[in-house]
Amino acid sequence: MAGGEQPPRPTDAELEILAVLWNTGPATVRQVHEAINQRRQTQYSTILKLMQIMAEKGLVLRDEEQRAHIYKAARPREWTQRQLAGHLLERAFSGSAKALLLGALSAKKATKSELAELRKLLDEYAKRSK
């Protein structure tokens, strides 16, 4: 297990595979290939090759107990986000870039108590309209 050492920065193609693994959880090469195929045509062998290299680099962990090997991302998504962005992430969404973004949610996150309150508001409304 490559836990002690830090895996290197993933390339774009590797990131794409990691993205699938983060989304779906541990998966076989075939499952990853199917997910990526929804976006663009790829060869199964390309994905297989990539994922074997990633396992060597320590980007993904391979579970070899079953016949079809199961892969999972070595690091959580947030970790890689930070690795990619440095402080960019914080800056991009709470700093100056925020001024240029438009989104359904504001860049500031709601706190736990605000979320609870929000939930309550919705529940009350649902109850009342029944």
Partner 1 sequence: MSVQEALGWALIHSIWEGGLIAGVFGVILLSVRSSRIRYVAGCVAMFVMLASFILTFVRFLPERGSAAGTLARITLPPWDARPLTGGNFDRFPDLGILIPRLTPIWIWGVCFFYLRYASGWLSLHRMRQRGVWHAPDYWQRRIARLAAELRISRPVLLFECLLANTPVVVGHLRPAIFVPLGFLTGLPAAHVEAILLHELAHIRRADYLVNVCQRVIEGLLFYHPAVWWISHVIRAERENCCDDMVVELRGDAYDYASALSTLEQQRSTAQAAIAAGGGNLMKRVQRLLYPKQPHSMWVSVAGAVILMASTAMGLAAWHGNNHNPTHVSKQTEQTVNDPWQKWLNEDVVYIISDEERAAFERLKTDPERQHFVEQFWARRDPTPGTAENEFKEEHYRRIAFANDHFAGKAQGWRTDRGRIYIKYGPPDEIDSHPSGGSYQRPDSEGGGTAATYPFEDWRYNHFEGVGSLTIEFVDTTSSGNFRMTLDPKEKYKKP
Q: Which stretch binds partner 1 (CB under 8 A): 26-34, 49-57, 65-73, 117-125?
A: 117-125
User: With respect to partner 1, which residue has the nearer C-beta, 67 or 127?
Assistant: 127
Residue choice 64, 102, 127, 130 for contact with partner 1 (CB under 8 A):
102
**Torsion-angle region of residue 58: left (phi > 0), alpha (psi -120 to 50) or beta?**
left
Q: Which stretch binds partner 1 (CB under 8 A): 49-57, 58-66, 67-75, 104-112?
A: 104-112
Residue choice 63, 68, 78, 79 for contact with partner 1 (CB under 8 A):
78
- Closest CB 6 distance from partner 1, rounded Å: 18
Rounded-to-integer distance, Cα 49 and Cα 53, Å: 6
How far out from the chain centre does Cα 24 lie?
9
How far out from the chain centre does Cα 47 lie?
18
- Closest CB 52 distance from partner 1, rounded Å: 22
Rounded-to-integer distance, Cα 23 and Cα 46, Å: 20
**Binding to partner 1 by residue 122, rule CB under 8 A?**
yes
Amino acid at the residue 80: T
